[in-house]
Amino acid sequence: MRELAKVHPYIPNSDGSIIDQMLSEIGAHSIEDLFKDIPHSIRSKADLQIPQGMSELETKKHLERLLAKNSSTHDLLSFLGAGVWPHHVPAAIDAIVSRGEFLTSYTPYQPEISQGMLQAMFEYQSLISELTQMDYANSSLYDWSTALGEAARMASRATGRSEFIVTKYIQPERLATLQVFCEPVGIKLIEVAQDARTGFVDLADLGRKLSSNTAGVYLEYPSFLGFVEKAASEIGSMVHKAGGLFVVGSEPISLGILKPPGQFEADIVVGEGQPLGNHMNYGGPLLGIFACRGEPLLRQMPGRIIGKTATQDGKQVAYCMALQTREQHIRREKATSNICTNEALLALAASMYLSLLGPKGITDLCATILDRTRYAVDRIDRIRGVVAPRFDAFHFMEFVINFDKTGKNVSEINAALLKAGIQGGLDLSKWFPELGQSALYCFTEIHSHQDIQMLADKLQQILET
Amino acid sequence: MNELVYAQARWDEPPIIELSQAGKIGFHQLSTAETTRAALETIPQQLRRARPPSLPEISEIEVVRHYTRLSQENFGVDLGIYPLGSCTMKYNPKICDAIAASHKIQDLHPYQDQKTAQGILQILYEASDLLAKIVGMDKITLQPAAGAHGEYTGVLLMRAYHRDSGGQDRNEVIVPDSAHGTNPASAAMAGYKVVEVPSNANGCVDTEALKNAVGPRTVGLMITNPNTLGIFEREIVEIAEIVHDAGGLVYYDGANLNAIMGKAKPGDMGFDIVHINLHKTFATPHGGGGPGAGPVGVTKRLADYLPVPTVEFDGTKYYLDYNKPKTIGKVRAFHGSAAVVLRAYTYILLNGKEGLATAAEVAVLNANYMAQKLRKIKGFSLPFAEGVPRKHEFVLSTSTLTKETGVTALQVGKRLLDFGIHSPTVYFPMIVEEALMTEPTETVSKLELDAMINGFAKISEEAYAQSDQPRTSPHATSVSRVDEAKANRPRTIQLTWRTEKPEASR
């Protein structure tokens, strides 16, 4: 047999004597015997052209050296949001999601031995349906963008129609993902205008675009650019009148104080669960929220759903996967989606987060975010040539700052801010050139008034020199 | 030795909402009542939520206890053997999690200036390179969030390729009858028709049937190798040629990659596209269902179609490249599951070429050891391909046991739970009657393998002695056999606590 290089800490049977014993018990001469069915032409080229392994200590040092080249929100004062948002993650959450019983478990195919995760997912579904005021939530999709893709496909399946209307100021990467989910099955995306001054949906334009082909209309609430649509109810009614579904995309914390989509006739709600107790992690993994209204839509829902039931003897409450006939492992090509692996651990963190906050905590958090948003508007709008917010509307957590009259562009401004240890807002000039030199800024509970004042002072300094 | 004793915690923990008591909070409040009131008053009336959501009112310690108790009612690799076939539930080295707990990854924003993210970009770049070398592909995208997401990405790549080369009428994706359910589902998501080809007596793709199935409509073939029976498709080169000759592409479902690292590369078998489940082969924790990550590798002729951005290096700096005119677009927002890729990268560095090859070798040894021992136990058999070694997994059938004693594969799996052993994957692949698809992985010891073999032997004895044990199991888990029918019946289905149906409870 090939002499194994070394006994390996993760491979208990890597010691030669154990291997020899096992081989002899099954009548094999060598490990190579077990690979003899691989054709020589393939086998001969199989040597891995990668480095030799390193010890745990060496690996740790190497990784720490690499990671040290990153500047996190601890190192930089950052005002980026735009789909992934900086929040404080309570320490209790990291402690629980690191527990091996949760962390190293698989999809709960055997419910009797997986009740912990199943119950946590049932709780997650309940908390999300409460927050959104929708009837049902699944136990997670990959992220907001893929949840939106699934929502458009579900709207098309449920209505038998093939046009999906999206608003102009949708998060562009979300739009790009939506296209990838829609185009192959012939769903056509149609853009509806938003008012240049307020950002509100142009209802006349929406009226023109709705038709008997409309599968659904998608509204981001709050919008990607932070303003909050005031006519969500009217939009819902218009969509329903046309026989389509109303799909709403939300950042979930905002629903602690904003009228929830379930109360303005949303049929499907999607969103990004990262801010609910999950770290930004350079944009992944994320947590796709997906909720819907009514049983006919429930049957069309993608992804895993957990149900509460009992044991067969009727003596204990128990949980298990429900409505599995929608899923690929049963239904194969007729499934509602191909999703299998989801984001359960992040959903667990979200459940913990919403439970820790409670009704008072989420209200308090939202009020704090509003306070920071307003404080930032107040400090920044007074800088000469700067318009903040760019849109005349109520904003939550994020708003657009326009620099057109300062004579500087966003990329210059951000470069100067970075020199001062500040990561400025997201440059919108490539995605939305009609907004001129504009940037999307995000303010959450992690930003103190002093932090915001520091940003304002620095901006003033940059713009007035 | 090998005493089979297990008792999972039984907390009878109520849903967390039932622990709620008005007035409690588990969160350090940030603002004064005054600030809160002032802030809330700025919300226009028609946008304001009428009353706060009915979330639990509960203190931090109670939340921690609740979820710690739930964790004790959950089984993971850290607790014991978890031989779910095709899931590769191997040990997840703790150092990978420790590194990923750094704020230098957790608190990075995907849109931050790339100058301030050179470390993670380098990690993503190098991880792509290592993965490409392991599977023998030219270029990798790290974006897909999971295996199935990688499959969808792969099918879209095939679609883009055919559109560019005059094959827009191609609309059939071929999958073997033993394929993972995600393969046909992914093909269907791209609007394609699924054509199934049967397996032959050796459990491998019937090449004659494949020749009949391919044609001018063929988009490509999706196949995993070793297949779900754990058998290496030794005609894979011919299979790839048949598909290529018909103008189709060949897709490798990487769920079963653990068997062949350092032994065979999909690129050398003729594959054009490969997805890799980092949460399987590269040991990132599966978190009770996710997160995972499903990077996709392709050969040169498909590289231009990959999703944007890819991570590149210009000799001095690492950067995100969005400039790909032929790209299929984006399969998700941002750049991929960086924290998962970081763990997989760490795992690859720890193991290196020798360690990964050893992992494959011992995974295969463990599977064959178990298969050979189990098939000798009364009532069990190892259908298909007599004498052919299995790879990382094998499919045991309980059909004899079932015929002779009435004890089914499902019941065998349930009874194993009583011994602190997770059940294999049951009733898959569908071409095996009473199937137990079993994948021990390289991270179980011989002691554990022997304990599991003893468990099967004991169940066989119980079954032939007409003991009630297998039929009434499990007993040692936090709940006894779950009524899954009730969870689906329209009258009793309950998917949130907001729809509590009093007449249906208990």
The answer to whether residues B143 and B307 touch, using CB atoms and an 8 Å cutoff, is yes
pLDDT tens digits for range B122-178: 999 999 999 999 999 999 999 999 999 999 999 999 999 999 999 999 999 999 998
**Residue A109: strand, helix, or coil:** coil
Q: How many CB atoms lie within 10 A of CB A268?
A: 29
For A377-392, what is the mean pLDDT? 97
Q: Name the nearest CA neighbour of A32 among B263, B245, B478.
A: B263
CA distance B299 to B322: 19
Structure letter (DSSP) for residue A13 = G
Q: Which residues of chain B make contact with A80, given a CB cutoff of 8 A?
A: 109, 111-112
**Does residue A391 carry a pLDDT above 60?**
yes
Q: How many CB atoms lie within 10 A of CB A448?
A: 12
The answer to whether residues A161 and A214 touch, using CB atoms and an 8 Å cutoff, is yes
Q: Which residues of chain B make contact with A283, given a CB cutoff of 8 A?
A: 109-110, 333-336, 338
**Residue A193: strand, helix, or coil:** coil
DSSP string, A288-314: EEEEE-SHHHHTT--S-EEEEEEBTTS
Report helix, strand and coil shares of chain B as percent, to nearest 5: 40, 10, 50
pLDDT tens digits for range A286-325: 999 999 999 999 999 999 999 999 999 999 999 999 998 8
- ipTM for the predicted complex comes to 0.97
Phi-psi category of residue B29: left, alpha or beta, with phi > 0 → left and psi -120 to 50 → alpha: beta
The answer to whether residues B157 and B296 touch, using CB atoms and an 8 Å cutoff, is yes
- The residue type of B183 is N
Structure tokens at A403: 């620099």
Structure tokens at A192: 């509806």
Q: What is the largest CA-CA distance in chain B?
A: 78
Q: Which CATH architecture has domain B137-349?
A: 3-Layer(aba) Sandwich (3.40)
The answer to whether residues A192 and A239 touch, using CB atoms and an 8 Å cutoff, is no
B27 close to A (CB below 8 A): yes
Nearest-CB residue to B413 (from A110, A341, A343): A110
B423: nearest CA partner in chain A: A110
Residues present in chain A in total? 465
Structure letter (DSSP) for residue B499 = G
Q: Calculate how close chain A gets to B249, using CA atoms only, in Å.
A: 18
Going by pLDDT thresholds of 50, 70 and 90, the confidence category of residue A5 is low
CA distance B484 to B498: 20
Residues present in chain B in total? 506
Q: Are strands A163-167 and A214-220 parallel, antiparallel or unpaired?
A: parallel
The answer to whether residues B366 and B303 touch, using CB atoms and an 8 Å cutoff, is no
Structural domains of chain A sorted by starting position, each given as residue range(s) with its CATH number in brackets: 12-43 (no CATH), 77-86+357-463 (3.90.1150.10), 91-353 (3.40.640.10)
Q: Where are the alpha helices (DSSP H) in B109-265?
A: 118-135, 147-164, 182-189, 207-213, 236-245
Structure tokens at A336: 């509602």
CA distance B463 to B225: 35
Q: How many CB atoms lie within 10 A of CB A93?
A: 24
Q: How many CB atoms lie within 10 A of CB A358?
A: 26
CB spacing of A180 vs B330 below 8 angstroms: yes
Per-residue pLDDT at A329: 83
For chain A, what percent of residues have pLDDT higher than 90?
95
Q: Name the nearest CA neighbour of A291 among A107, A148, A117.
A: A148
- The residue type of A360 is K
Per-residue pLDDT at B3: 58
Residue A350 parent element (H or E): helix A344-381
Q: Which residues of chain A make contact with B478, given a CB cutoff of 8 A?
A: 112-113, 115-116
Q: Which of residues 431-460 of B touch A (CB under 8 A)?
A: 442-446, 448
Q: What is the largest CA-CA distance in chain A?
A: 84
CB spacing of A101 vs B76 below 8 angstroms: yes
For A138-154, what is the mean pLDDT? 98
The helices-and-strands tally (H runs, E runs) of chain B is: 15, 12
Q: Which residues of chain A make contact with B425, given a CB cutoff of 8 A?
A: 109
B86: nearest CA partner in chain A: A106
**Does residue A1 carry a pLDDT above 50?**
no
CB spacing of B331 vs A146 below 8 angstroms: yes
CB spacing of B478 vs A37 below 8 angstroms: no
Residue A318 parent element (H or E): strand A317-322
Q: Name the nearest CA neighbour of B482 among A119, A309, A123.
A: A309
CB spacing of A332 vs B186 below 8 angstroms: no
Structure tokens at B370: 């178990």
Domain spans of chain B? 16-72, 137-349
Q: Calculate how close chain B gets to A384, using CA atoms only, in Å.
A: 25
Q: Where are the alpha helices (DSSP H) in A393-448?
A: 410-419
Per-residue pLDDT at A2: 46
Burial of A443 (0-12, 13-18, 19+ CB in 10 A): buried
B329 close to A (CB below 8 A): yes
Q: Which residues of chain A make contact with B338, given a CB cutoff of 8 A?
A: 281-284
Residues of chain B with pLDDT under 50: 1-2, 501-506
B84 close to A (CB below 8 A): yes
| Beta bridge partner(s), residue A439 | A401, A427
Structure tokens at B69: 């108790």
**Does residue A256 carry a pLDDT above 90?**
yes
Per-residue pLDDT at A326: 86
The residues, any chain, with a CB within 8 Å of residue B149's CB and separated by 6 or more, are A142, A146, A338, A339, B294, B331, B332
Per-residue pLDDT at B1: 39
A vs B, Cβ pairs < 8 A, gives: 735
Average pLDDT of every residue of chain A: 96
Q: Name the nearest CA neighbour of B228 among B386, B443, B425, B81.
A: B425
Q: Are strands B172-176 and B193-197 parallel, antiparallel or unpaired?
A: parallel
For A135-163, what is the mean pLDDT? 98
> Is the pTM value of this prediction over 0.90?
yes
pLDDT tens digits for range A194-222: 999 999 999 999 999 999 999 999 999 99
Question: Which single residue is written with the structure tokens 């496909």?
Answer: A153
Q: Which of residues 177-236 of B touch A (CB under 8 A)?
A: 181-182, 184-191, 194, 231-232, 234, 236
Structure letter (DSSP) for residue B173 = E
